[in-house]
Amino acid sequence: MTEVEALRAQEADLVFRLMKLEDIPDILIIEREAFTMPWTEEAFRNELTHNHFAKYMVMELAGHIIGYAGMWAIVDEAHVTNIALLEAYRGRKWGERLLEELMNTASYVGMKSITLEVRVSNEVAQNLYRKKGFRSAGTRKGYYSDNREDALIMWADLPEYKEHGYLEGSVDLK
């Protein structure tokens, strides 16, 4: 089996599901690895228990959480709060799969568009977002508190849910 075939076989084993409180320790590992200003346990706990706009999912491989994504669903707009993958699993296009699942979930819950902020220096993420239909819509000056870096604001339109065959929170959303 070639390396590409092995990656495709592994990709078929990816599972997407809603995040639970007991997932937070694994999420914090990803968070610390991915971000210079990681969210705290309390922040995730609050999102999952008190923020009725919040929707978070995890991506698992062989029963281990390797990535997660979150958004706030407000009126008909989804705002991506965070999306991250363990470093060992980057470069396989699985971040793209995770973003697709988040966008599918947003569509499923009735969102018409989706937005996010990304560091102006993060070309890799910007390229992924453009590939998934996001377009630049301005900047937020000094948005990131760790170094006062600007954020690029990006938006994408979402198709109506009927164009998808997915169910939010399904054990396996392939």
Is-contact 103 55, C-beta < 8 A?
Answer: no
117 given a catalytic annotation? yes
144 given a catalytic annotation? no
Is-contact 80 70, C-beta < 8 A?
Answer: yes
Which pairing describes strands 77-85 and 113-119: parallel, antiparallel, or unpaired?
Answer: parallel
Catalytic residue among 11, 100, 117, 149: 117
Which token pair is 134?
A: 């996001």
Give me the DSSP letters along 14-82: -EEEE--GGGHHHHHHHHHHH-SSPPPHHHHHHHHHT-TTEEEEEEEETTEEEEEEEEEEETTEEEEEE
Catalytic residue among 56, 60, 129, 168: 129
Which residues are designated catalytic? Answer: 117, 129
